[in-house]
Amino acid sequence: MKHIGLKITAFIFAIALWLYVMSLSTFQLTLDVPVRLVKLPEMLAIASKPPQTINISVEGPAFDLMRMRNRIKNGDTTVASIVLDLQDAELGSSRKHIFAKNFIATGFPNIKFIEPDNQLLFVDLELDTRIERNIPIHSNVTFNTQAGYIMTDEPKLSPNFVTVSGARNAITRIFEIPTDSVSFDTLKSSQKYSIPLNFDMIPAYVQPSDSSIVIDVDIQKVASKEFTKIPVQLIGRYDKAAYKLVPDTLTVKITGGEHILDSISTKDLNLFIEFNRFAIEDVDSLTPTIKMVLDPKINRDMSIKAVEVIPDKVALVKKEIKPAKDVVKTNEDYGEEEDEEDDEE
């Protein structure tokens, strides 16, 4: 324990001396940094898939290099980058060489780019004319209702397309843009959902106008409603004085979305039977055809679950035709007629 203070002082001095030497020394490091393309003319677009990052060598003080490397490892893409100015770019293929002037490291002025001795770093680009197109959206979203509820219409996408901008060759190969695959279960009320779009299959440097869409889903409780005294019409060619339907009015029971049922009235329902069907099917009673005149906005296939007529069949009955009564004339009637004739003579 003798001279412990002196030993500690010497140790601290050695560390300080080492740190001082390190700060004066220049070291080299290899890093992957982002490639940024700037000042591209408005009428041109990237048609190829240039590298997102490039491996370069840099040199500088040890502590600066260690700080830069740690920030890059932690996902900071703003620390350093290779910036390529495309303001003079032309249509077609081109090769952009990378020099020290392309290296940007904001906040690290002492770190420099090292140009390779025996090779050139470069990025190959393909430039094409820029166009815009509206691409339809394909929904990969599944909606399932809770028991006792129904979805009364197809989910409505807003918007149902995405405007994309990019190279002509890339844009013309895009036919639809899908949403993320999402599922919603046990729904029992109408809602709007914001769904992200999936751009995994979209070529590089194609710019979409939106990253998500809104899907509107109409959910209604299932209900039943009866419409009474709906007349049944017998249509076709037949002797109207000879035939009739029994019964001639029915009850129609409709099951579907409760708000859809509220919009239906008796005047929207028509029941009819074709007269020839009785002979063709060789029966004396038939179920009438039901015609519902609904608002064009209503999706009948989804919003109406069942339609039932009560009773379910109508009979064709031949009317009883009463014979005309014969008029029997008496002799007096004839005599009176003869007398009238004689008087006229």
pLDDT in tens, 91-135: 999 899 999 999 999 889 989 999 887 778 899 999 999 999 999
Give the other-Cβ count within 10 Å of 237's Cβ. 7
What is the average per-residue pLDDT within 50-63?
Answer: 89
φ, ψ (nearest 5 deg) of residue 216: -100, 125
Pick from 142, 176, 161, 65: nearest CA to 110: 65
Q: What does the pLDDT read at residue 338?
A: 47
- Given a cut of 70, is residue 295 above it in pLDDT? yes
Closest by CA to 204, choosing from 322, 48, 37, 75, is 48
- Separation CA 125–CA 121 (nearest Å): 14
Per-residue confidence band for 177, with pLDDT thresholds at 50, 70 and 90: very high
Quickly state the pLDDT bin for 345 (edges 50, 70, 90).
Answer: very low
Q: What is the DSSP letter of 267?
A: G
Residue 198 CB partners (closer than 8 Å, separation 6+):
140, 177, 178, 179, 180
Asked if residues 159 and 142 have their Cβ atoms less than 8 Å apart, the reply is no
- In this predicted structure, what is the pLDDT of residue 157? 96
Q: Is the pLDDT of residue 41 over 70?
A: yes
Torsions phi, psi for 312 (to 5 deg): -80, -15
Pinpoint the alpha helices (H) of 133-285: 168-171, 258-262, 275-281
Residues in a beta bridge with 58: 29, 113
Whether pLDDT at 255 is above 60: yes
Beta strands 53-61; 112-114: pairing state: antiparallel
**pLDDT at residue 128, as a whole number:** 93
Rounded to 10 deg, the angle between the 4-24 and 62-73 helix axes is: 80
The model's pTM is 0.69
Confidence (pLDDT) at 118: 73
pLDDT at 276 over 50: yes
- Of the ranges 20-29, 171-180, 239-248, which one carries the lowest mean pLDDT score? 20-29
CA-CA distance, 145 to 185, in Å (whole number)?
6
Q: What is the pLDDT of residue 277?
A: 92
